[in-house]
C-alpha cells in the first residue's frame, strides 16, 4: 500500500506543478494579483508532496519491501541501514525521483525567500521552476517509475552495487544533484528576466545568491566524487577525464564564470548578456550531464543505465531549455544594454576576459568529450580522447586563468591606475614563494610544475598587496579563500602528478619491500566477516625514514549476493603524501600481488576544495542577512 | 530462494574456513589466480625506476580495447593485463614509445590511443581550442573598443 501512496503523491506533485504553471500565467493575462497569490501555496504543495513521496520510498527500503522492483534490484536485507537510504538514489529510477525532489526543494526555497515579493517577476520565475518539476515528474512516471511492483515478490533483494556501498557515495550524488538542479533556479531567473518587458531590474542581484549556493553544492559534489574515486577504486587516481566526470565539470566551469559575471551585472550593470547566456548554458549543461550519465551515449565507467528512450526524452527537454530562452534572447537582444566602459584597466574588462577564458575551456572540454561520438557518427572510425589531450589543453588555460585571477587585486571597477610598486612587490614575492615551494617540496625538475607553482603563488600572494588590504579583509574574504583554495588544489594536483611513485610486488607473510624512504613489511593475512561481505585482509607494517611506524590493512572483499570481488585499498594520509596500498590478485596459496603507491600531496587537493567550499559559504553568509532585510520592503517589481 | 541458500552456504563456509589454520586458501572464491600472466604483470621487475615510470605512463595512455573506458593500468580485465605485460616487456627490451604505440595501433587501431594523433581528421580537435581562443580574443577587443567609444551599446 505504501508504494502506491508514494506514487499517488508523485502524481500529486505533478498536478501541483501544473497548477503552479497555469495560475500565474492566467494571473498575468488577466492582470489579477489575487490569482497570482496562489502560485506560492502551489509551489509549497509540490515540494511537500514529493518530499513525502521520496520519504515513503526510503521507508520501503528500510523495511525491505522487495515487492517493489526498484528496491529488489538495489537493496538486500543484510545491507546496513544507511546504505539502504543511499540506495534510494543509487539507481536510475530513484535518482530521477531525487531530481524532482531537489527541483521542488529549490522552487520551495525561492518561493519562501521571496514570499513578500509577490510580483509578476517572481511568479514567472516560479512558472519556470514548476514547468521543470512537471517535466521531470512526467519523465519519472512514464519512463522510470521507481514504485513498480514485482510479482511474485522475491525473498531477497539483489543488493546495492558494492562499489556504491561507501560513505562518499551516500553524499556524492545528492550534493551533485543539488548543484546541478540548483542552477535551475538561476536559469528560471534568467528565463523570467528574458520575458520581462523592461530591462532594468535587479534580477542579477536576486539570482546571484542562488548561483552561489548551487556552485557550492556542485563543488562539494565533484570534490566528494573525486575523493570517492581516489580511495574506493584502488587506482590511486582522483580525476580520470572520463565523460561523466567531464559532464560534471562543464556546468562547474560555466557556473564559476556565471558567479563572476553576475557580480559585474549586479554591481556595474555590465556583462548582462554574458550573465543571461551563462545562466541558460549552465543549467543546460547540467541536463546534458544527467543525459550523459543516464543514456549511455558515451562510453564511460560510470554509465549506470543504458536506455535510449529515457535519453531521448532528456534530450528533448534539453533542446527546449536551450531553444526557448535563446530565441527570447535573440528577440530582445537590444534591450539588454550595458553602460559605457570608462577604462581598459577595469574589472569589467578583466571579467570579460575571464568569461571568455572559461567559455573557451568549457568548449574545449565539450569538444574533447564528444569528439569520439561525432567521429563515430560520421563513420570516420573509432578514436579515443583521454587524459593526455585534456591535460595538454586544460592546464595552459588554467594557468592563464590564474594569471588573470591575480590581476584582480590591482584592477578595480570602473577605472583604475596600475600601482607599479605594489605590482612589482607582488611579482617578486610570488617568484620567491614559488622558488621556496619548489626547493622544499619538489623532487627533480619539471617545467610544468614550475609554471604551476609560479602562477599559483601569484594567486595566493596578490591579495595581500591590495590597496586597504586590512580594512577590506572581511569584504574580500570569500573571494580570497576560494582563490587560495583552487591554487592549493592546483599545487596538489601538479605535485601529485610529478612526485608520486609506486611499486608492485609479490608479497606474503614475512616478505619485505622498499619504496623510496618507505620500508613495507607484510606481517600476516587475516580474515574478516563484514555485514554483507567476507574479506581477506593483509596486515602490513610501514616504516619511514624517521623510524615512524604505520599499520595498514588493505582488503579483498567478496560480496556473495552480486558475486563481486572488490579490492578495498588502505591509505595512510600524511601532510605531504599518502601511502596507498592495494591488495591485488592472489598469486599462490599465501602470496598476493601488492601494489604500493606513494601519492604525493593528495591532501592538498582536498584541502583546496574544502577552502573553495568555505569561500562559497562565506560569500553566501555575507549575502543572506541583507537579503532578509530587503524582504521587508515590498515588491520591487 | 535459491539465492538465499547460496548466500547462507557461502556465509557459513567462510565462517568455517575463517577459523582454520591460515595457510590454506580461504575458499574457492579467493582461489589463487591461475593465469601466469597475472603473476608476471603484477610483479614485473623493471631494470630501473625510470623505465618503470616510462612503462606505467605509457600504459596509462593506452585504452583497454574491451573495457568501458579504462586504461591498461586501471583495468582488471585479462586482455588489459596481457597488453600491459606486452608494454612492460617492450619497454624492458628497450623499444621506444613510438615503436610500442605503433605496435598497439597496428593491432587495435587508433581506438587504443588516449592521446589522439595529430592528423587531418583530428585537426579540429587539436586546433579548435586555439581557434576559439583567437575568436574570443578578437571579438573581446572589438567589443571593448566599441564600449569605450560609445555611450551605451
Whole-complex ipTM:
0.87
Residue B8, pLDDT > 70, answer no
Q: Indicate whether B92 belongs to any domain.
A: yes
**Contacts A163 to B, Cβ<8 Å:** none
- Helices marked H in B19-122 — which ranges? 36-42, 49-60, 78-92, 97-108
Q: Are residues B139 and B106 in the same domain?
A: no
Q: Indicate whether B24 belongs to any domain.
A: no
Q: Which of A154, A245, A527 to mutate to test the interface with B (most CBs of B within 10 A)?
A: A527
Across the interface, which of A337, A526, A534 has its CB nearest the CB of B153? A337
Average pLDDT estimate for A255-273:
91
CATH, residue B86: 1.10.8.640
Q: Are residues B92 and B144 in the same domain?
A: no
B68–A301: do the CB atoms touch at under 8 Å?
Answer: yes
State the Cα–Cα distance between residues A59 and A51, nearest whole angstrom.
12
Reported as a pLDDT band with limits 50, 70 and 90, residue A296 is low
CA-CA-CA-CA torsion for A433, A437, A439, A443, nearest 10 degrees? Answer: -150
Q: Are residues B100 and B132 in the same domain?
A: no
Chain A residue nearest residue B37, CA to CA: A587
Q: Indicate whether B21 belongs to any domain.
A: no
Q: Which of B1, B69, B130 to mutate to test the interface with A (most CBs of A within 10 A)?
A: B69
**What whole-number percentage of chain A has pLDDT above 90?**
57
Helix-strand-coil split of chain B, %, nearest 5: 65, 5, 35
B19 phi and psi, to 5 degrees? -85, -10
Q: Indicate whether B1 belongs to any domain.
A: no
**CA–CA min distance B83, chain A (Å):** 17
Average pLDDT estimate for A226-238:
87
Q: Indicate whether B72 belongs to any domain.
A: yes
Of A106-110, A444-448, B60-64, B142-146, the least confident:
A444-448
Q: Indicate whether B83 belongs to any domain.
A: yes
A382–B4: do the CB atoms touch at under 8 Å?
Answer: no
Q: At what angle do helices A272-295 and A308-331 cross, to 10 degrees?
A: 170
Across the interface, which of A344, A385, A561 has its CB nearest the CB of B148? A344
The pLDDT score that the predictor gives to residue B30 is: 55
**CA–CA min distance B58, chain A (Å):** 11
Q: Are residues B68 and B103 in the same domain?
A: yes
The pLDDT score that the predictor gives to residue A554 is: 94
Distance of CA B60 to the CA centre of its chain: 5
**Average pLDDT of chain A, as a whole number:** 89
Q: Indicate whether B130 belongs to any domain.
A: yes
Q: Where does residue A476 rank: exposed (0-12), middle (13-18), buried (19+ CB within 10 A)?
A: middle
Reported as a pLDDT band with limits 50, 70 and 90, residue A258 is very high
Average pLDDT estimate for B51-61:
90
CB-CB contact of B84 with B44 (8 Å): no
Across the interface, which of B29, B125, B144 has its CB nearest the CB of A371? B125
Q: Are residues B131 and B92 in the same domain?
A: no
Q: Indicate whether B12 belongs to any domain.
A: no
A73 phi and psi, to 5 degrees? -85, -20
Across the interface, which of A393, A501, A586 has its CB nearest the CB of B32? A586
Residue A346, pLDDT > 60, answer yes
The pLDDT score that the predictor gives to residue A299 is: 64
Q: Which of A338, A383, A559 to mutate to test the interface with B (most CBs of B within 10 A)?
A: A383
Q: Are residues B111 and B124 in the same domain?
A: no
Residue A35, pLDDT > 70, answer yes
Across the interface, which of A156, A382, A502 has its CB nearest the CB of B3? A156
Reported as a pLDDT band with limits 50, 70 and 90, residue B24 is very low
Best CA proximity match to A218, nearest among A613, A518, A532: A613
The helix/strand/coil state of B45 is coil
Q: Are residues B103 and B122 in the same domain?
A: no
State the Cα–Cα distance between residues A571 and A505, nearest whole angstrom.
17
State the Cα–Cα distance between residues A602 and A488, nearest whole angstrom.
11
Characterize the bridge pairing of strands A518-529 and A534-543: antiparallel
Across the interface, which of B115, B140, B147 has its CB nearest the CB of A389? B115
Average pLDDT estimate for A545-560:
89
Q: Can you give A298-355 as a three-state secondary structure string? A: CCCCCCCCCCHHHHHHHHHHHHHHHHHHHHHHHHCHHHCCCCCCCCCCCHHHHHHHHH
Q: Are residues B53 and B41 in the same domain?
A: yes
**Contacts A395 to B, Cβ<8 Å:** none
Q: Which residues contact A295 (CB under 8 A, 6 or more apart)?
A: A305, A306, A307, A308, A310, A311, A312, A314, A315
Residue A633, pLDDT > 50, answer no
State the Cα–Cα distance between residues A264 and A348, nearest whole angstrom.
7
Chain B residue nearest residue A532, CA to CA: B11
Q: Are residues B46 and B107 in the same domain?
A: yes
**Domain count for chain B:** 2
Q: Are residues B47 and B111 in the same domain?
A: yes
B43–A382: do the CB atoms touch at under 8 Å?
Answer: no
Q: Which domain holds residue B132?
A: 118-153
A381–B110: do the CB atoms touch at under 8 Å?
Answer: yes
CB-CB contact of A408 with A347 (8 Å): yes
The pLDDT score that the predictor gives to residue A529 is: 92
pLDDT for A129-163, tens place per residue?
A: 999 999 999 999 998 899 999 888 888 888 888 87
Amino acid at each position: 500500500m505504501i508504494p502506491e501512496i508514494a506514487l499517488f503523491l508523485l502524481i500529486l506533485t505533478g498536478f501541483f506543478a501544473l497548477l503552479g504553471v497555469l495560475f500565474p500565467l492566467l494571473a498575468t493575462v488577466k492582470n489579477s494579483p489575487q490569482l497570482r497569490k496562489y502560485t506560492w501555496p502551489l509551489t509549497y504543495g509540490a515540494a511537500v508532496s514529493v518530499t513525502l513521496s521520496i520519504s515513503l520510498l526510503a521507508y520501503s527500503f528500510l523495511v525491505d519491501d522487495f515487492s517493489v522492483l526498484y528496491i529488489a534490484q538495489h537493496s538486500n536485507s543484510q545491507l546496513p541501514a544507511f546504505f539502504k537510504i543511499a540506495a534510494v538514489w543509487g539507481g536510475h529510477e530513484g535518482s530521477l525521483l531525487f531530481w524532482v525532489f531537489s527541483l521542488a526543494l529549490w522552487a520551495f526555497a525561492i518561493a519562501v525567500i521571496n514570499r513578500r515579493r509577490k510580483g509578476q517577476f517572481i511568479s514567472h520565475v516560479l512558472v519556470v521552476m514548476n514547468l521543470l518539476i512537471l517535466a521531470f515528474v512526467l519523465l519519472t512516471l512514464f519512463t522510470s517509475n521507481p514504485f513498480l511492483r514485482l510479482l511474485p515478490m522475491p525473498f531477497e533483494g539483489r543488493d546495492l552495487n558494492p562499489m556504491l556501498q561507501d560513505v562518499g557515495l551516500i553524499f556524492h550524488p545528492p550534493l551533485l544533484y543539488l548543484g546541478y538542479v540548483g542552477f535551475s533556479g538561476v536559469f528560471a531567473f534568467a528565463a523570467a528576466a528574458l520575458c520581462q518587458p523592461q530591462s532594468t531590474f535587479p534580477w542579477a542581484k536576486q539570482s546571484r545568491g542562488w548561483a552561489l549556493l548551487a556552485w557550492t553544492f556542485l563543488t562539494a559534489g565533484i570534490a566528494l566524487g573525486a575523493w570517492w574515486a581516489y580511495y574506493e577504486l584502488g587506482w590511486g587516481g582522483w580525476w580520470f577525464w572520463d565523460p561523466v566526470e567531464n559532464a560534471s565539470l562543464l556546468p562547474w566551469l560555466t557556473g564559476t564564470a556565471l558567479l563572476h559575471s553576475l557580480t559585474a551585472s549586479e554591481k556595474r550593470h555590465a556583462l548582462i548578456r554574458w550573465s543571461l547566456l551563462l545562466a541558460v548554458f549552465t543549467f543546460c549543461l547540467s541536463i546534458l550531464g544527467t543525459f550523459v550519465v543516464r543514456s549511455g551515449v558515451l562510453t564511460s565507467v560510470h554509465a549506470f543505465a543504458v536506455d535510449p528512450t529515457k535519453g531521448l526524452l532528456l534530450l528533448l527537454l534539453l533542446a527546449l531549455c536551450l531553444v526557448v530562452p535563446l530565441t527570447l534572447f535573440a528577440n530582445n537582444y537590444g534591450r539588454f544594454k550595458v553602460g559605457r566602459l570608462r577604462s581598459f584597466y577595469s574589472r569589467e574588462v578583466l571579467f570579460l576576459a575571464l568569461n571568455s577564458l572559461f567559455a573557451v575551456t568549457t568548449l574545449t572540454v565539450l569538444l574533447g568529450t564528444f569528439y569520439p561520438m561525432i567521429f563515430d557518427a560520421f563513420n570516420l572510425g573509432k578514436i579515443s580522447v583521454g587524459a593526455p589531450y585534456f591535460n595538454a589543453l586544460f592546464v595552459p588555460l588554467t594557468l592563464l586563468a590564474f594569471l588573470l585571477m591575480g590581476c584582480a587585486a590591482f584592477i578595480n571597477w570602473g577605472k583604475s591606475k596600475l600601482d607599479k610598486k605594489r605590482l612589482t612587490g607582488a611579482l617578486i614575492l610570488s617568484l620567491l614563494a614559488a622558488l621556496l615551494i619548489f626547493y622544499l617540496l619538489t623532487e627533480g625538475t619539471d617545467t610544468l610544475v614550475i609554471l604551476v607553482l609560479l602562477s599559483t603563488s601569484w594567486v595566493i600572494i596578490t591579495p595581500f598587496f591590495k590597496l586597504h588590504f586590512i580594512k577590506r579583509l572581511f569584504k574580500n574574504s570569500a573571494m580570497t579563500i576560494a582563490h587560495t583554495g583552487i591554487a592549493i588544489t592546483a599545487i596538489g594536483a601538479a605535485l601529485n602528478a610529478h612526485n608520486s611513485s609506486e611499486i608492485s610486488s609479490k608479497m606474503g607473510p614475512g616478505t619485505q619491500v622498499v619504496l623510496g624512504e618507505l620500508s613495507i613489511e607484510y606481517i600476516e593475512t587475516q580474515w574478516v566477516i563484514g555485514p554483507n561481505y567476507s574479506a581477506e585482509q593483509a596486515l602490513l607494517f610501514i616504516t619511514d625514514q624517521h623510524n615512524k611506524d604505520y599499520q595498514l590493512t588493505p582488503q579483498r572483499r567478496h560480496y556473495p549476493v552480486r558475486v563481486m570481488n572488490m579490492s578495498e585499498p588502505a591509505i595512510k594520509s600524511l601532510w605531504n603524501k599518502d601511502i596507498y596500498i592495494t591488495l591485488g590478485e592472489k598469486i599462490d596459496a599465501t602470496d598476493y600481488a601488492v601494489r604500493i603507491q606513494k601519492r604525493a600531496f593528495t591532501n592538498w587537493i582536498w584541502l583546496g576544495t574544502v577552502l573553495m567550499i568555505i569561500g562559497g559559504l562565506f560569500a553566501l553568509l555575507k549575502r543572506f542577512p541583507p537579503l532578509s532585510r530587503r524582504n521587508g520592503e515590498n515588491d520591487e517589481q | 530462494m535459491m539465492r538465499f541458500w547460496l548466500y547462507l552456504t557461502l556465509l557459513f563456509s567462510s565462517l568455517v574456513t575463517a577459523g582454520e589454520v591460515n595457510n590454506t586458501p580461504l575458499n574457492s572464491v579467493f582461489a589463487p589466480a591461475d593465469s601466469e600472466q597475472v603473476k608476471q604483470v603484477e610483479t614485473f621487475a623493471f631494470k630501473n625506476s625510470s623505465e618503470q615510470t616510462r612503462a606505467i605512463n605509457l600504459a596509462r595512455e593506452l585504452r583497454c580495447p574491451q573495457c568501458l573506458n579504462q586504461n591498461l593500468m586501471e583495468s582488471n580485465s585479462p586482455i588489459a593485463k596481457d597488453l600491459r605485460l606486452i608494454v612492460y616487456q617492450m619497454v624492458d627490451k628497450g623499444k621506444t614509445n613510438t615503436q610500442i604505440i605503433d605496435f598497439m595501433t597496428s593491432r587495435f587501431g587508433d581506438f587504443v590511443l588516449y592521446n589522439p594523433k595529430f592528423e587531418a581528421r583530428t585537426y579540429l580537435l587539436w586546433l579548435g581550442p586555439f581557434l576559439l581562443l583567437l575568436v574570443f580574443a578578437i571579438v573581446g577587443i572589438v567589443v571593448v573598443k566599441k564600449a569605450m567609444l560609445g555611450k551605451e551599446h
